[in-house]
């Protein structure tokens, strides 16, 4: 690792983020062509190249021993490099700086989840990167899409002027999972009935919908993977909470953290620097110029969505015409129009196959009209009923416990409410973070040895502050727990888990 890279990075936000295509730029002197995205964008090319070069080298090297799963992480004294193979030839690297202070402790899998999330969200709106590259081999389309998308995505991690990656304090959260609202059977049927009304009013069998209440999922017709992506997006940008926080942060963003004027700066930077140093013919279409000719959607742009008068959220208005965003579903490999209707706390995401509407925006307008006619009464009813039965943000708090429950098969998680989690001592967090790292390793090892077998195991440690830190894996479900005010004995701790499992997990963790 050349020291130069680290020293230059220190001046930045403490992270580097790189996406590269290992097949491109094979000839000497053209290595820069590998790079599809680099953050910070103003890094000199030498620095970019050194990251890509190192990563590519390590990947090639580790493949010698482990052809299927190459390098996952490099730990340096002052940096962690987290690798993610997003597509067969597409790699994403996140480099985070280890500060002297103790706050920069994290779990590599949590960081990798960020890479996964960026990639899956990107794929949802733009399709797989490889497809973009195939469509336009020069890579400019892919670059400009990635540039706006990832930069918009990273605005969510801004704390002050710095980018703050998730740390050990976030170990009772699981990215890329869905948080569900628990409803009674009666309510579930009502919701399902509403989903059917929505589907039928769209006039197409292939329509799909998701229903959210506040930031919780109530019903979905998508596969777990697509659901997780759509849910993540909704919570980031669509739910009432997301909408209001967008408007609140508006003025702050305007002042300069490059969020709203990403495209402009990209134009300057990329067009300027690259044409200077690498005057290739193909470079003529720089992202900036391209974006002026071709419309590049920026679904993650803050303040993108606003609620229209008819209850539908609107995103892009160009030439006074609404442009409905299009998403790409992994499961069916279909392009869908994304329509969002919001009534108070209820957000309804309606996905209409692009292929089913011949007349585009007009057709969507008709579907919207029908939805309002057929379903608005029912939507109001369901919203009211759920609101009445909703226990508030601490609804899923279990006193005495701080927990995280993950159903990895279905990409669902539930955790103690954030307000309650923050009451934990730092030692507890650190211990849990450590424990989770161990569990991650154990899980990875077990699934390498016996891929088709469910692995059940349990870990329990006593932290410095005498808190019990427990992890229990059973039949694909994971339970992490911190008991700070627990008794001395391990027996007490395991009874506490048993009690929790029986009451809140249908006994899923009390198998033995």
Partner 1 sequence: MSGKASSDQSQVALNGSGALSHVYIQHPPLRCNVPGIQGLYYDDGNKLLLAPSSDQVLSWKVGTSTQLDPPSSDFVGEGPVLSIRYSLDGKLIGIQRSNHEIQFKNRETGGTFSQRCKPDSESILGFIWTDCPSCDVILIKTSGIDLLSYEPDLNTFRLAETKRLSVSWYVYTHESRMVLLASGMQCTIFSGFQFSSAGIVRLPKFEMAMVKAEANHKPVLTAEDIHIVTIYGRIYCLQCDRVGMRLNVYRFYRDAVVQQGTIPIYSTRVAVSVIDNVLLVHQVDAKVVILYDIFLDCLSPISAPLPLLLRGTSVNNRQALQVEDNLTSAYNAMIYGDNWIFLVPDLICDSDNGLLWRIFLDLEAIAASSSDVPSVLEFLQRRRSDPSKIKMLCLTIIRAIMLERRPISIITKAIDVLVISYAHLVKMDNVIHGADRNSKRNQNSGSQSTTTSIVASAEFSGETMNRGKSITGVENESQRSTIRNLEDANVNYAEKSNSKASFNSLSDLDGDRNHDVMRSNSGELVGNSSSTDLLSSDAMKDINRSTSLQDSSYLKQPSVQSEGLACSSSRSDACVSNQQETQFTNVAISPDEMYDSIFASVEEELGGDPAYLIAVIIEFLRCSTKEKLRVHPNIYKLIIQILVRTSSYSELALFVTNKILEPSKEVALQLLEQGHQNSQIRKLGMDMLRHLSLHHDFVTVLLQDGYYLEALRYARKQKVITVHPSLFLEAAVAANNSQHLAAVLRFFSDFTPSFKITSDYNRYHMILSEMS
Which residues lie near partner 1 (CB under 8 A)? Answer: 180, 183, 185-186, 188-190, 192-193, 196-197, 199-200, 205, 219-224, 227, 374, 409-410, 453-454, 456, 475-476, 506-508, 510-512
Rounded least distance, CB 374 to partner 1, Å = 7
Rounded least distance, CB 384 to partner 1, Å = 16
Q: For the beta carbon of residue 333, count every other beta carbon within 10 angstroms.
A: 9
CB closer to partner 1, 171 vs 219: 219
Q: For the beta carbon of residue 294, count every other beta carbon within 10 angstroms.
A: 12
CB closer to partner 1, 252 vs 381: 381
Rounded least distance, CB 204 to partner 1, Å = 10
CB closer to partner 1, 142 vs 195: 195
Q: For residues 500 and 510, what is the distance between their CA atoms, to the nearest angstrom? A: 9
Rounded least distance, CB 266 to partner 1, Å = 37
CB closer to partner 1, 245 vs 332: 332
Rounded least distance, CB 119 to partner 1, Å = 21
Rounded least distance, CB 350 to partner 1, Å = 15
Dihedral sign, Cα of residue 234, residue 239, residue 241, residue 242:
positive
CB closer to partner 1, 449 vs 512: 512
Q: Which of 191, 197, 235 has its CA nearest to residue 211? A: 191
Question: What is the bridge-based pairing of β-strands 346-353 and 208-213?
Answer: antiparallel
Q: For residues 269 and 231, what is the distance between their CA atoms, to the nearest angstrom? A: 33
CB closer to partner 1, 393 vs 409: 409
Please measure the distance between the N-terminal and C-terminal CA atoms of the chain and give it in whole angstroms. Answer: 49
> Cβ contacts of residue 94 below 8 Å, gap of 6+?
15, 16, 17, 18, 81, 82, 84, 111, 112, 114, 115, 165
Rounded least distance, CB 87 to partner 1, Å = 24
Q: For the beta carbon of residue 311, count every other beta carbon within 10 angstroms.
A: 17
CB closer to partner 1, 317 vs 380: 380
Give 374's strand partners.
Answer: none
Tokens of 440: 């991650």
CB closer to partner 1, 11 vs 189: 189
Q: For residues 70 and 315, what is the distance between their CA atoms, to the nearest angstrom? A: 40
Q: Are 327 and 311 in contact (CB under 8 A)?
A: no
Rounded least distance, CB 188 to partner 1, Å = 4
CB closer to partner 1, 51 vs 222: 222
Give 132's strand partners.
Answer: none
Rounded least distance, CB 325 to partner 1, Å = 22
CB closer to partner 1, 196 vs 249: 196
Q: For residues 132 and 140, what is the distance between their CA atoms, to the nearest angstrom? A: 9
Three-state SS string across 452-498, please?
CCCCCEEEEEECCCCCEEEEEEECCEEEEEEECCCCCCHHHHHHHHH
Rounded least distance, CB 206 to partner 1, Å = 9
DSSP letter at 180 equals: B
Q: Which of 208, 212, 207 has its CA nearest to residue 231? A: 212
């Amino acid at each position: 690792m050349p020291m130069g890279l680290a020293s230059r990075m220190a001046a930045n936000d403490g992270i580097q983020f790189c996406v590269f295509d290992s097949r491109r730029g094979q000839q000497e002197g053209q290595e820069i062509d590998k790079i599809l995205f680099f953050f910070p964008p103003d890094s000199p090319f030498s620095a970019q190249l050194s990251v890509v070069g190192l990563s590519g080298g390590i990947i090639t090297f580790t493949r010698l021993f482990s052809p299927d799963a190459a390098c996952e992480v490099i730990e340096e004294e002052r940096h962690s490099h987290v690798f993610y193979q997003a597509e067969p030839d597409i790699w994403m690297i996140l480099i985070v700086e280890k500060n002297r202070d103790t706050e920069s402790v994290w779990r590599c899998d949590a960081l990798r989840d960020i890479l996964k999330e960026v990639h899956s969200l990107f794929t949802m709106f733009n399709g797989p990167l490889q497809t973009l590259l195939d469509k336009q081999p020069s890579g400019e389309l892919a670059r400009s899409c990635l540039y706006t998308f990832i930069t918009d995505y990273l605005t969510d991690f801004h704390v002050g002027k710095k980018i703050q990656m998730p740390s050990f304090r976030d170990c009772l959260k699981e990215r890329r999972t869905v948080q569900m609202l628990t409803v009674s059977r009666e309510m579930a049927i009502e919701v399902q009935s509403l989903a059917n009304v929505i589907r039928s009013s769209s006039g197409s069998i292939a329509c799909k919908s998701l229903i959210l209440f506040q930031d919780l999922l109530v019903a979905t017709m998508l596969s777990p993977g697509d659901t997780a992506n759509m849910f993540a997006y909704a919570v980031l940008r669509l739910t009432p909470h997301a909408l209001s926080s967008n408007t609140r942060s508006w003025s702050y963003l305007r002042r300069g953290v490059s969020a709203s004027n990403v495209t402009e700066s990209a134009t300057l930077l990329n067009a300027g620097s690259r044409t200077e140093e690498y005057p290739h013919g193909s470079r003529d279409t720089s992202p900036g110029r391209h974006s002026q000719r071709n419309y590049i959607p920026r679904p993650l742009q803050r303040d993108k969505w606003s609620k229209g008068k008819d209850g539908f959220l609107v995103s892009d208005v160009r030439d006074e015409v609404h442009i409905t965003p299009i998403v790409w579903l992994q499961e069916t490999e279909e392009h869908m129009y994304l329509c969002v209707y919001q009534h108070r706390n209820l957000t309804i995401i309606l996905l209409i196959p692009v292929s089913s509407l011949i007349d585009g925006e007009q057709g969507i307008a008709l579907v919207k009209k029908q939805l309002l006619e057929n379903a608005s009464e029912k939507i109001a009813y369901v919203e009211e009923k759920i609101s009445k039965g909703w226990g508030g943000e601490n609804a899923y708090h279990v006193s005495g416990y701080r927990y995280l429950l993950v159903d990895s098969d279905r990409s669902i998680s539930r955790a103690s409410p954030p307000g309650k989690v923050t009451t934990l001592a730092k030692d507890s967090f650190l211990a849990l973070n450590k424990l989770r790292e161990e569990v991650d390793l154990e899980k990875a090892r077990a699934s390498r040895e016996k891929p088709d077998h469910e692995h059940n195991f349990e870990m329990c440690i006593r932290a410095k502050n005498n808190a019990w830190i427990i992890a229990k894996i059973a039949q694909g479900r994971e339970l992490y727990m911190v008991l700070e005010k627990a008794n001395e004995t391990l027996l007490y701790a395991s009874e506490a888990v048993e009690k929790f499992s029986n009451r809140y997990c249908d006994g899923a963790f009390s198998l033995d």
